[in-house]
Amino acid sequence: MNRWILTTALAFALAAGAPAAEAKNTLRWSSQGDALTADPHAQNEGPTNSFNLTVHEPLLYRNRDMKLEPALALTWKAINPTTWEFKLRQGVTFHDGSKFTAEDVVFSFKRAQMPSSDHRNSLDTIADVKKVDDYTVHFVTKAPNPILPNQITQIAVMSKAWAEKNKVEKPQDYKNKEETYAVRNAMGTGPFKIVRRDPGIETVLARNAAWWGWKTAQGGGNVDEIVYKPIKNNATRMAALLSGEIDFVLDPPVQDLDRIKRDPKLKVLEIAQDRSIFLGMDQGRAELRYSDIKGKNPFADKRVRQAMNLAIDRDTIKRVVMRGLSAPAGLVTAPAINGYTKELDTPTKANVDAAKKLLADAGYPQGFSTKLDCPNDRYNNDEQICQAVVGMLGKIGVKVQLDSQSKTLHFPKIQKRDTDFYLLGWGVPTFDSHYVFNFLYQSKGSWNATGYKSDNLDKLTADMAGEIDAAKRNALIAAAWKQAKDDVVYLPLHHQVIAWAMAKKVDMPILMNDQPQFRYAKIAAAPAKKNN
C-alpha cells in the first residue's frame, strides 16, 4: 500500500510541476459549503469571496485588525471630492506570467459593475474608472464618497486578456443556460493558483512563488499547497479533524469546541465577528397582523420596545444558548467598525420588574401576543436564541408564538415586510457604520422591515455618505447611533463570536470577517514521525 501512496503522490507532484524530493507544506482544510463559483464578480457571498480573493487580489487588503493595507494598489488618496487616485504596484504578474497593469483594474471594475455582477451595489457610487497611465487609476464618483477604499476590498482584479480570450467579459447571468469558462477557471495575481477544481468535492491550490507579497507584512506564510474538501455533515467534519485527515476547520460546531480544546494536537481560535444578531419589530404599521391587540400597534409605543429590551437576559443567552460564544450587545454594530463605541454598546441589564412597569404604563398590563419569525439554518444557534427570547418575553406577559423556518423562507418574509417581529443578523463588509444605517435604519433601507422612519436619521445617513472630512463625518455617525439607540429601533442581542479549529502545527490568525487568509498561514515542520 505504501507503494501505492508513493506512486500517487509522485504522480501528483509531477502533474503539479513541483520540484520533487522537497517536502511540501500542504494545508488540508474543510468547511460546510464550497465557494459557489470561481467567477470573482458573479456572487457576493462570504465563502465565495474568500476563495476568489485567494486566487485573485483586490486593490486593498484588510490586515489582521481589518485596517486597509496595500495590495495591488500601493497608495490611494482623494485628489478632489469626487476622484480617488490609486497608484498601482509595479512588476506584478498574473498566474500565466502576463503583466498586471491599469487596464486590468479598469476592466475588472467595469465588469463588477455590470448588471449580472452581484458586487455592483457596493460600487454604485462609482461613475467611471479611468486609466491615467499604466500604473495609475482614477475612480470618479457620482457624489463625494469618503469610504470608497472600504468598499472595494472584496473586488477581485482579473486578467483582461484572459477574460477576453475565454469570452468571460461578463459575469454569468441566469439567462445564459451554459456554464461559462469562469465558473471553474480563474486568472488572478493572488498568492495561490488553481491546480484543480472540482466544485463541492475537492479544490487544490498551489503556492504562487512569483507573488510579490511573500516577504512582506501582507504575506509571510509557508504553505505550498492548499487542499480544500467541503464536508457538510458536522460530525463527519469533526471526525476528519480529530483523525488528522484535515488540518483546519473553518466552522466547527459550537458543541464540539470543548472536545477540540482537550485534544493535545488541536487548538481553537475565537474572535468577535463583524456580525450582530438582533430582533426587529414592525413599529410602522397601524395594526399588527399576528397579535391579539386590534386597532393599535403595541410596537409603535417606545415603552413597549424598552420593556422588551429589559426583559431579554443577554448574559443567559451567552452562557446557556451560545456556550460562551457571543459578546452581548447594546448596538447593532460590532467593535472594529468605524463609528462603534464601547459606551453605546453596553448591553441593557435584564430587569423584569422595570419591564413589567413600562409595559403597564404603555397600557398593556396583561401583555399581548405576537409572532416571532426566526431562521433555523443561518446564524449560530439561531433557533435556540429565539426559543430563549420567547421564554424571557413570556416573563413580562408578552406571549410569543415562535415560527422558525429555513432561511429560504425566512428572508423573503423580511423583504416583503410580511413579519411583525423577526430575528436578523447583519455583517458589515465595509467596516463602516454607514452600511448599517443605509440598509437597516433609513426609511427606504432594503432590509429595514421595522417601518421606522425618521427624517433626521435619513438625513444623517445621506450626509455621512458624502462627508469627506473624517472628523465631521464621525460626528454625524455618532449622532445617528445615539438616535438609533434612544429610539430602540432594534433589540440588539449579541455580536456573533466565531471559532476556527486547527491542528497545533498550523499558525494562521483568525480574522473577524471569517475569511481565512492563507497568505499568512505557516505550518510548523513536523516532528520526527513516530506513527506510520
Which residues are near another protein by CB under 8 A? 1, 4-5, 8, 33, 36-37, 39, 42-45, 115, 118-119, 121-122, 172-180, 183, 198-202, 229-233, 235-236, 239-240, 242-245, 263, 377, 405-409, 411-412, 415, 426-427, 435, 439, 446-447, 530-532
Phi, psi dihedral angles at 251 (to 5 degrees): -130, 70
291 vs 433, which CB is nearer to another protein?
A: 433
Strands (E), 329-462: 368-375, 398-405, 421-427
CA dihedral of residues 272, 275, 278, 284 (deg, nearest 10): 150
Q: How far apart are CA 497 and CA 515, in angstroms?
A: 14
What is the amino acid identity at position 189? T
CA distance 509 to 500: 10
171, 117 in Cβ contact below 8 A?
yes
Q: Three-state DSSP class for 494? A: strand
The nearer residue to another protein, 178 or 455, going by C-beta atoms, is 178
| Angle formed by the axes of helices 470-486 and 455-466, nearest 10° | 160
End-to-end CA distance of the chain: 12
Of the pair 240, 508, the CB lying nearest another protein is at: 240
2 versus 366: smaller Cβ distance to another protein: 2
Q: Is 467 exposed, middle or buried (0-12, 13-18, 19+ CB in 10 A)?
A: buried
Q: How far is the CB of 70 from another protein (least distance, A)?
A: 25
Q: In angstroms, how far is CA 100 from the centroid of its own chain?
A: 28
For another protein, the closer of residues 342 and 529 by Cβ is 529
Cβ burial, residue 351 (10 Å; 0-12/13-18/19+): middle
Min separation Cβ 159 and another protein, Å: 20
What DSSP string runs through 2-69?
Answer: HHHHHHHHHHHHHHTT--SSSPP-EEEEE-SS--S-S-TTT---HHHHHHHHHHSB-SEEE-TTS-EE
Which of residues 166 and 316 has its CB atom nearest to another protein in the complex? 166
Q: Which is nearer to another protein, 214 or 439 (CB)?
A: 439
> 419 to each of 279, 298, 353, 383, how far by Cα in Å?
12, 14, 28, 16
Q: Give me the least distance between CB of 83 and another protein, in Å please.
A: 24
- Is residue 42 within 8 A of residue 172, CB to CB? The reply is yes
CB of 34 to another protein, least distance (A): 9
Of the pair 366, 532, the CB lying nearest another protein is at 532
Nearer to another protein by Cβ, of 236 and 346: the residue is 236
In the complex, the smallest distance separating the C-beta of residue 12 from another protein, rounded to whole angstroms, is: 9
Q: Which residue has the cell 464536508?
A: 231
Sign of the alpha-carbon dihedral angle for 479, 485, 487, 490:
positive
Complex with another protein: residue 33 or 284, whichever CB lies closer: 33
Nearest approach, Cβ of residue 233 and another protein (Å): 5
- Give the nearest distance from C-beta 223 to another protein in angstroms: 21
Collapsing DSSP to helix, strand or coil, 411 comes out as helix
The minimum distance between CB 414 and another protein, in angstroms, equals 9
**Cell numbers linked to 196:** 484543480
In the complex, what is the shortest distance from the CB of residue 478 to another protein, in angstroms, rounded to a whole number?
A: 24
Q: Choose between 147 and 240: whose C-beta lies nearer to another protein.
A: 240
Determine the Cα–Cα distance for residues 441 and 2; give it in Å rounded to an integer.
62
Q: Closest approach of Cβ 189 to another protein, in Å?
A: 23
Q: Provide, rounded to whole angstroms, the least separation between the CB of residue 199 and another protein.
A: 6
